Chain A
Amino acid sequence: MTVHVMTGNDAAATAAKLARVQVVAAYPITPQSPVVENLSKWVEQGELPAEFVAVESEHSALTVCIGASTVGARAFTATSANGLAYMTEQVWWAAGARLPIVMCVANRAMAAPWNVLNDQQDSMSVRDAGWVQLYCRDNQEILDTTVQAFRIAERLNVPVMVCYDGFLLSHTMMPVDVPDAEVADAFLPPRTAPLQVVDVNNPRNVGPVTLADPRADADGTLQPGYMEFRAMHHGALLEALEVVPDVDRAWETATGRGWGGLVCEYLLDDAEIVLVAAGSLVTQLTLVAEALRAEGVRAGVLGIRCYRPFPVAALRERLAGRALALVFDKALSYGYQGPIAEDLKAALYAAPDAPAVYGAICGLGGRDVSPGQLAAATRAALGDLAAGVTDRAPVWINLAEGSMR
């Protein structure tokens, strides 16, 4: 193990190298580009025995990964924002075809208007596509989670998206422990045979037209219909609720570092007020909880590491008996509310002893979010709670007066 000072993008690329990826296909987009620039360099210099496929678009990037993964290769790509949107059709294909592709998403705001800075609208917008989605708090977690992601993906035959905040992590340097190759190899053996049968002597059409109902094939064997395949896929995502923590524990055994599995927490044990978020905001919220505790408010932090599948049981268990969960979303379902707040409210519905859930929207398009602003928003929420407000429209943090008309 060696400590290097590196950016989040370097950590992601280093993880892909440790995972001995065999095919990388990518198209550059800010703020992800350094991930694949690193990998391209290492392939060119002979440090990484992989195929690097330079493609003409993100749609093709993921399509190449789909082809490679179908025939059994370990495939990796990375993207951001409009690049992710451009490959969306293939995002669904990779999931439905049950391909264990790993993709890093350096989270960036969606255009229009054009903006290259951080929020989480891009990956949140594909939360329903059937990928496991993991959000990272710092650069060490990016490296560790990206290696873990391959083991999760290959165990379940589902693709995994490793999300980290653009610029805040992607371009910020931090000390990162890089495990030795032998440690990573022992943790992540070569990929086993794919689900897909790729054999010229026993040909298959993979992902053919599959109608709603089960059908009898040429031998009269009943084959699943579209709904059955979708139910199996959903089952695999639910199984990830066990596999994600298992893999995190195995990583902790191997390296001494675990990240909490599905969720992470800080000062949570006796907390009445729980601050909830995903990504680097979780790190910031630890400062907010400390500041509020200095004022006598029993505040704690609950970070969502695994956003899909949504860890309903873990959240219910950790939030039972609290007074308030205040969710900070860096994304928005327009005309409704922040996605994490929305999901948390649904998860807690009819749960015994559930807290009130308030939402707040912050940091869109890279709008700076300071611990002071987060603390002020929390104090305001405490006022609403004391006034008996059980539900509340999302509050926008640090928004110019009169913008929402």
Chain B
Amino acid sequence: MNQKISMSRPSVGEAGRTGDWRSSRPVMRAELCLAAKAGKVTCQLCWLYCPDACITQGMPPEIELEYCKGCGICAEECPAHAIEMVPERAHGVCEMPGGAAR
């Protein structure tokens, strides 16, 4: 710790493991995702709208739960209703990097 003021860089994980904040988890149902169904990188609105850049483009797009805060914007914007916000308690324990449970 040597800097005198708070600064951050545009890097993955720069703000810490913000996935800790999540109370609901976005669950992608590929069978409804337009891109997955079309077999090409189309739509991608979830990737576009994610304010924390936690979503990678794909068929279907992938959601990085290490940093997803669970805001639910992706689920709200998905025109095919392919993303469902499921309360974390429904998933049981969260895993830490390395596999430790907490």
Which A residues form the contact surface with B (CB < 8 A)? 97-98, 157, 195-197, 202-211, 214-219, 222-224, 226, 228-229, 232, 236
Contacts and interface: CB of A to CB of B under 8 A. Distances in A.
Contacts of B1: 214, 222-224, 228
B5 A205 contact: no
A98 B9 contact: no
Nearest to A208: B8
9 contacts: A195-B4, A197-B7, A208-B7, A215-B16, A217-B16, A218-B9, A223-B6, A226-B6, A229-B5
B5 A218 contact: no
A97 B10 CA distance: 19
Contacts of A215: 15-16
Contact of A204 (B4, B7, B15, B16): B7
Contacts of A205: 7-10
**SS class, residues of chain B in contact with chain A:** loop
Interface residues of B, number: 15
Contacts, number: 64
B45 interface: no
Nearest to B16: A215
Contacts of A195: 3-5
Interface in B1-37: 1, 3-16
Nearest to B9: A204
A209 B52 CA distance: 13
Contact of A97 (B3, B5, B8): B5
Contacts of B5: 97-98, 195-196, 206-207, 229
Contact of B15 (A208, A226, A228): A208
Contacts of B8: 204-205, 208, 217
8 shortest interchain CB distances as A-B pairs: A218-B11, A215-B16, A210-B6, A204-B7, A218-B14, A208-B8, A205-B8, A218-B13
B1 to A, nearest CB: 5
A219 B14 CA distance: 8
Contacts of A216: 13, 16
A217 B13 CA distance: 6
A143 B12 CA distance: 49
Contact of A224 (B3, B11, B14, B15): B3
Contacts of B6: 206-208, 210, 223-224, 226, 229
Nearest to B1: A224
A207 to B, nearest CB: 6
Given A98-B4, A214-B1, A223-B3, A209 B9 contact: no
A221 B52 CA distance: 21
Given A205-B9, A207-B7, 17 more contacts: A97-B5, A98-B4, A195-B4, A196-B5, A196-B7, A203-B9, A204-B7, A204-B9, A205-B8, A207-B6, A208-B6, A211-B16, A217-B16, A218-B9, A224-B1, A224-B3, A228-B1
Given A203-B9, A205-B8, A208-B8, A217 B14 contact: yes
A334 to B, nearest CB: 34
Contacts of A229: 4-6
Contacts of B3: 195, 223-224
A83 to B, nearest CB: 26
Contacts of A207: 5-7
B9 A157 contact: no
A203 B13 CA distance: 16
A202 B7 CA distance: 12
Q: Considering residues B1, B8, B11, which has the most beta carbons from chain A within 10 angstroms of its beta carbon?
A: B8
A197 B6 CA distance: 11
Contact of B4 (A209, A214, A226, A232): A232
Contacts of B16: 211, 215-217
